């Protein structure tokens, strides 16, 4: 493994693991192994790692693993773990907050509440890191990440940092398209000056627990909501609540969640995703698009 040999000789402060079971690093608790799993010590270490990787190396950035399904055959490339890296979080002028991509969305929500800033409470409902929220324009309870973005910093695969503005991206519902081979490392976000939230964070979390299968192995919402409709409504309408393949089951509590409740394989989960898509397409005439990223090789 030429690439593996190259990475193993890097003089980085962080950790490099080989044949790392990715079920330990995804919220679905399923999937195969990664050839290489790198935990940089800090952003300079991350830059060094990226500068040293081969140009053709497949990369997968993983935070809390809440929006990723890695197939049972594993990921043949390098996984870069961002949890615990890029943890900056500070108040800036003009009601702005500078936040690193490794900060959890829930922590950002609590920080803004403590600073008397409103408009950030919805981040408490996003089960992931800020970097992932930026990458997919994550949202919850009617809020969306990129409505608050003033600017972002990215790092390319050569380890170089770029300053970007929202105009550099095409932003849509659960979709962000921008310069290739760049990943978010921080953002400057703007909120309102006075905390006037009609629903506070605690109330939002109570609502989430009442309506979603929290405390189970899931990835959050599996499908994007179609225009002027809800994926959960369509799935339920098609009688798919409780539908099971192997250890994967469509949640009885919220139909847009798929739960690993009996040691599901990634194949079980992906098969259930495809079954839901097929059934909704045939019965309702709607093509459901996934929010979750499915990567890696199928098991041979």
Per residue in 49-65, is it b (16+ CB within 10 Å) or e — as a string?
bbeebeeebebbbbbbb
Q: What is the pLDDT averaged over residues 197-203?
A: 69
Nearest to 92 by CA among 68, 78, 111: 111
Question: Is 221 annotated in the active site?
Answer: yes
pLDDT in tens, 221-242: 999 999 999 999 999 999 999 9
Dihedral angle, C-alpha 246, 68, 259, 278, nearest 10 °: -60
pLDDT in tens, 21-38: 999 999 999 999 999 999
Q: What is the pLDDT averaged over residues 261-269?
A: 96
Annotated active-site residue in 104, 186, 221, 267:
221
Q: What is the DSSP letter of 79?
A: E
Contact indicator for 126, 105 with CB cutoff of 8 Å:
yes
Query: Tokens 């950002």, residue?
Result: 108
What pLDDT score does 221 carry? 94
Q: In angstroms, rounded to a whole number, what is the distance separating the alpha carbons of residues 78 and 275?
A: 30
Rg of the chain in Å (alpha carbons): 19
Length reported for the chain? 300
Q: Which residue has the higher pLDDT, 198 or 64?
A: 64
H/E stretch holding 68 reads strand 68-70
Contact indicator for 190, 140 with CB cutoff of 8 Å:
no
SS3 of 166, please? Answer: helix
Mean of all residue pLDDT scores within the chain: 93
Q: In angstroms, rounded to a whole number, what is the distance separating the alpha carbons of residues 225 and 289?
A: 8
What pLDDT score does 112 carry? 94
What pLDDT score does 106 carry? 94
- Going along the chain from its start, the domains and CATH numbers come out as 2-81 (3.30.43.10), 89-190 (3.30.465.10), 216-295 (3.90.78.10)
pLDDT band per the 50, 70, 90 thresholds, residue 5: very low
pLDDT band per the 50, 70, 90 thresholds, residue 205: confident
Annotated active-site residue in 71, 174, 197, 224:
174
Question: Is 291 annotated in the active site?
Answer: yes
Checking if the pLDDT of 132 tops 70, the result is yes
SS3 of 204, please? Answer: helix
Residues paired with residue 170 on neighbouring β-strands, in sequence order: 177
Structure tokens at 116: 């008397």
SS3 of 224, please? Answer: coil
Structure tokens at 37: 């799993």
Query: CB atoms < 10 A from the CB of 228, how many?
Result: 5
């Amino acid at each position: 493994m030429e690439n593996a040999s190259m990475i193993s000789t890097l003089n980085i402060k962080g950790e490099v693991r080989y044949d790392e079971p990715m079920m330990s690093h995804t919220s679905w608790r399923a999937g195969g192994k990664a050839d290489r799993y790198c935990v940089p010590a800090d952003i300079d270490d991350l830059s060094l790692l990226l500068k040293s990787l081969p140009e053709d190396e497949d990369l997968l950035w993983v935070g809390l693993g809440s929006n990723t399904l890695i197939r049972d055959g594993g990921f043949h490339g390098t996984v870069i773990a961002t949890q615990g890296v890029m943890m900056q979080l500070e108040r800036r002028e003009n009601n702005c907050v500078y936040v690193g991509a490794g900060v959890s969305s829930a922590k950002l929500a609590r920080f803004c509440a403590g600073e008397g800033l409103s408009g950030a409470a919805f981040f408490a409902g996003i089960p992931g890191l800020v970097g992932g929220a930026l990458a997919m324009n994550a949202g919850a309870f009617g809020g969306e990440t990129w409505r608050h973005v003033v600017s972002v910093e990215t790092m390319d695969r050569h380890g170089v940092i770029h300053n970007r503005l929202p105009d550099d991206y095409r932003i849509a519902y659960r979709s962000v398209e921008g310069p290739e081979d760049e990943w978010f490392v921080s953002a400057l976000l703007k909120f309102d000056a006075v905390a006037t939230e009609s629903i506070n964070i605690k109330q939002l979390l109570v609502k989430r627990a009442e309506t979603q299968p929290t405390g189970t192995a899931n990835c959050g919402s599996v499908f994007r909501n179609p225009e002027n409709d809800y994926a959960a409504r369509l799935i339920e309408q098609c009688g798919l609540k409780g539908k099971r393949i192997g250890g994967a089951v469509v949640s009885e509590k919220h139909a847009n969640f798929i739960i690993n409740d009996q040691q599901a394989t990634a194949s079980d989960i992906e098969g259930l995703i495809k079954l839901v898509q097929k059934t909704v397409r045939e019965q309702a005439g709607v093509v459901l698009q996934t929010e979750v990223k499915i990567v890696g090789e199928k098991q041979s």
